[in-house]
Amino acid sequence: MPKLYDCDISGSCYKIRLFLNILGVDYDAVKVDFVNKEHKNPSYLALNPFGEIPIFEDGDLRLRDAQAILIYIAGKYDPSGLWFPKDAKAQGQIAQWLSTGGGEIMNAAGARLVKVLNYPMDLEKLHAGANRVFKIMDDHLANRQFLELGRPTIADIACFPYTALAGEGGIDLSPYKNVVAWIERMKHIEGFVPMPGIPSAA
């Protein structure tokens, strides 16, 4: 059975939990004590020298980086091929948002670390970066139900958690009405699971 190095309050780990649950894939969760920085311990760094969660293990394969793990899981466990289709155009379109999910949206993740765990980072700069990308997403979603292909893909999974958690970082999503509607839409996907800070649909 695949193994996820996991932490309840991590939006990055939640990307993987959410996708596995949507696909109905069983897995073992190994809890990592993120608050006490277990992911910076030598034994964890031996598994992932980047010192980040999640890690995903499946047989003799060990992967780091939530976006890479989503790509692997889609290829291995999604027989429909709908979440990350094999064709070049769809993969390119989706990969744009994998970069955004692991990139600009992490400004919102950083703001949350400042607010919740007192990380010493520049909150103003993080807020500016987060608001910039949420505005872009809001414009993009003005005439779309999901980020690409007109249906949920791993693009949405990669961008969803830290967007939905933005309020915990002190970011007000209410100006981004299309983003707020998209968050609600995500919560109605069959197999959706909540996490602390991201409740199920009302």
* Residues engaged in binding its own copies (CB under 8 A): 49-50, 61, 63-65, 67-69, 71-76, 86-89, 91-96, 98-100, 102-104, 136, 139-140
CA dihedral 175, 144, 193, 60 (to 10 degrees): -120
What torsion do the CA atoms of 120, 169, 38, 62 make, to the nearest 10 degrees? -120
3-state secondary structure of 197: coil
User: Which residue matches tokens 């949920």?
Assistant: 152
Closest CB to its own copies among residues 150, 202:
150
Cβ of residue 91: shortest distance to its own copies, in angstroms? 5
| Residue 61 vs 201, nearer CB to its own copies | 61
Which of residues 24 and 200 has its CB atom nearest to its own copies in the complex? Answer: 24
* Residue among 64 and 185 whose Cβ is closer to its own copies: 64
Residue 61 DSSP class: E
Residue 92: in which H helix or E strand, if any? helix 88-102
* Cβ 69 to its own copies shortest distance, Å: 7
Whose Cβ is closer to its own copies: residue 67's or residue 164's? 67
Nearest approach, Cβ of residue 100 and its own copies (Å): 8
Question: Shortest gap between Cβ of 129 and its own copies (angstroms)?
Answer: 11
**By the 8 A CB rule, do 146 and 189 touch?**
no
CB of 188 to its own copies, least distance (A): 27
Instruction: Give the three-state DSSP class for 17.
Output: helix
